[in-house]
Chain A
């Protein structure tokens, strides 16, 4: 019987072609708008490292001067100063520790056909690669000893390696950057976390697109005096030169702790609190604002990685979907009400209310299914339009299987929801009245 109703539903699509196509189209547009905006939100808020996102922590500490302090106000400081970062690297906390900052260096290629160019990279401490599960296609990262000796070594992204050395192995090759020679000790495999969570602040090209073309040891970068390519916030006076920056309380560095279990959070936070209390004694951290210790997802929401505009678009799209549902409900009501005589006859011939309900319900489902299919096609169009906005959006505007399934569920359940009222109204037909009026 259900199968019969299903075919009946398909056939009735043709009965009122204008009305039906209006319904299908309305539903499809509503679904497409909400699914394409939802896809962007979904991609923006994905967990970039599910295996350990609850064990990676970023400390957020307020080292600003006492002036202008409003107790309880949210911390605006998101980066750390060099003295704190070096202290954290030495501290025996968690299982891994990584300092990160963006660097731009001038590359002087040995090949005559390539021009001098600025490249974007990261200065990171040795644990970085293991901590973020960075895949290598050749070689590996540097050791703690190399880091300590400020070894002039470099790890390249696959793109840069291919650009400079083509298909041949880059290992052992030398690279001249910013007046120093660096030896290539590793080349990354395919690695494109979304968002680029390891350095969300000042990420090259933005939070979602762009690539770090090379990595050099954190300590080496400090020794050869490579300043940060990114924001730096200074509260007080600063001494001269790069040494002045290193010694100052200016914040320009990012730091990660990895712990063995998620529950080590408390222990680590206690350490941070003891640390700032200790620093307060020597005149630093005068505010005594409570420290925060955020895991990957908390860090992403703290930095508001999901943009307001994207949220706004999604909200409006869902408002639009709601309108489409009301519209479809109205049109279905219209479609069903002209068939009250048909219902009357069927009821008089012995069909129960449940049978009628089933028939119209399935018919509604068919409309939802067709609307969903169209909506899916339209979603791809919508995502294509969004992706043309910018390179970042092109990365985000990608449909995955989850979203595909969601589209269908959304479309069909939306139309079924919209069809409930008209279906219920159709069941209310009293056979006697209908037959009499014929």
Chain B
């Protein structure tokens, strides 16, 4: 099959092929970038929170009207934990100051050295009087968990800021503080910078524990767990239950806490699944919108190719008839149209790949997006070649079926 005659025929009548090529180019540029964004959002939404078996954990908050003294507060804390632990099906309970992916929590900047001018990173503060490692099933990859005597008590109404003596950090934080050290156990970190910043010793490293914000990129695993209890009018607990018992335990936990309180109180609770759902809802929505747009892009492009090919076949009835009369087989005609289409599509793909890279650069500069991976620029052309051939096949086949006699007679 010679390409030269097809090419010269194309060049003689440029407008229509050019429009098809532009369509291919635009859809390729949008499609690659859209699919990349979909992939990023999708990956973020299924990231591990660090919690083992999320479906067996929920969190519950009890808030009271009266603000208690330190002793009262500790008594309430102990009794509420006991009430929760006594519920059948409960495996473990731990007090916590915040919940991953809940978009509400406290964060602090930390550094490796008091003298550095800018802090090393900002971390989410998970304060607990118990073992988050045990209740959340965090994977401790180095060091140890807290002992009961590590726990400090802090009443913000009486004292100014209190920092823990020891902390457990995530692997991400350890990497940011000490990028070149394999072992960070026993090393120090400072809260903020400057001479009066407090020091804490790292005693453990966990694989992961997501932040409350669960950022799409960057510091989504920068969390520090501290053995601290803070006097507040409300307490939040993580509760781990036996498999399949969660919904029942949640109901019982609410009524048990309310009944035991003997004063007006508010109980709020939610599952980790639902926190995840709420956090990534808008990302999922964007991903679906992009998938819809991409599907439509393909459809519109395919319809463009079908429309144009139908027209070309109609215009060339006579030419096809003559060729057939001179001995060309059906397959030759079919091959002609398909080759022609591949030539046009390839032109569009070359243009589209450049456009895709350009669009990606624009998106990188305007939005939080990383560079398009190389694979996308390899796969997208394949998709459009297949799409092009599929779209041209039926019209081309119809053209090839024209019998030489009818084709030459008409005009």
Contact = CB atoms under 8 A, between A and B. Distances in A.
B160 A238 contact: yes
A330 B160 contact: no
A323 B307 contact: no
A67 interface: yes
Given A29-B300, A118-B63, A68 B157 contact: no
A296 interface: no
A221 to B, nearest CB: 16
Contacts of B19: 326-327, 329-330, 333
Nearest to A244: B160
A33 B63 contact: no
A322 B307 CA distance: 18
A28 to B, nearest CB: 11
A113 B294 CA distance: 52
A437 to B, nearest CB: 8
B328 interface: no
Given A179-B66, A240-B157, A316 B290 contact: yes
B368 interface: yes
Given A29-B300, A329-B19, A322 B160 contact: no
A120 interface: no
A318 B23 CA distance: 14
B30 A237 contact: no
Interface string B168-195: 0000000000000000000000000110
B302 to A, nearest CB: 10
Nearest to B19: A330
Contacts of A22: 303, 307
B160 A421 contact: no
Contacts of B367: 308, 311-312
A352 interface: no
B321 to A, nearest CB: 16
Contacts of B265: 116
A106 B117 contact: no
Given A68-B117, A312-B367, A389-B285, A327 B301 contact: yes
A32 to B, nearest CB: 10
Contact of A316 (B20, B34, B266): B34
B264 A116 contact: yes
A108 interface: yes
A108 B282 CA distance: 35
Contacts of B16: 330, 333-334
A26 B303 contact: yes
Most B CB atoms within 10 A — which of A26, A239, A386? A26
Contacts of A309: 282, 286
Contacts of B368: 308
Interface in A118-151: 118
Contact of B308 (A118, A320, A330, A421): A330
Interface in B44-84: 63, 65-66
Contacts of B117: 67-68
Interface string A7-47: 00000000000010010001001100100000000000000
Contacts of A425: 15
Contacts of A239: 160
A83 interface: no
A11 B16 CA distance: 25
B118 interface: yes
B30 A323 contact: yes
A118 B266 contact: yes
A282 interface: no
Interface string A46-90: 000000000000000000010110000000000000000000000
Contact of B314 (A331, A338, A389, A437): A338
A67 B300 contact: no
Contacts of A389: 281-282, 285
Contacts of B196: 237
A319 B34 CA distance: 11
A331 B307 contact: yes
B88 interface: no
Contacts of B363: 312
Contacts of A323: 23, 26-27, 30, 297, 300-301
Contacts of A159: none
B193 A67 contact: yes
A319 B26 contact: yes
B339 to A, nearest CB: 20
A26 B26 CA distance: 15
B118 A68 contact: yes
A320 B307 contact: no
Most B CB atoms within 10 A — which of A26, A330, A334? A330
Contacts of B22: 326
A283 interface: no
B65 A390 contact: no
Contacts of B381: none
B311 A327 contact: no
A425 B311 CA distance: 16
Given A316-B30, A316-B34, A319-B26, A327 B65 contact: no
Contacts of A386: 285, 289
A166 interface: no
B23 A313 contact: no
Contact of B304 (A319, A320, A331): A331
A360 B283 CA distance: 45
Given A240-B156, A319-B29, 13 more contacts: A68-B119, A116-B265, A239-B160, A241-B157, A308-B367, A312-B286, A313-B286, A316-B33, A316-B290, A319-B359, A329-B19, A331-B304, A390-B282
What 5 pairs across the A-B complex have the smallest Cβ distances? A334-B311, A330-B19, A389-B285, A116-B264, A327-B304
22 contacts: A22-B303, A29-B300, A68-B119, A179-B65, A238-B161, A240-B157, A240-B160, A309-B286, A316-B30, A316-B33, A320-B293, A323-B27, A323-B30, A323-B297, A327-B303, A330-B20, A330-B307, A331-B308, A333-B19, A337-B315, A389-B281, A389-B285
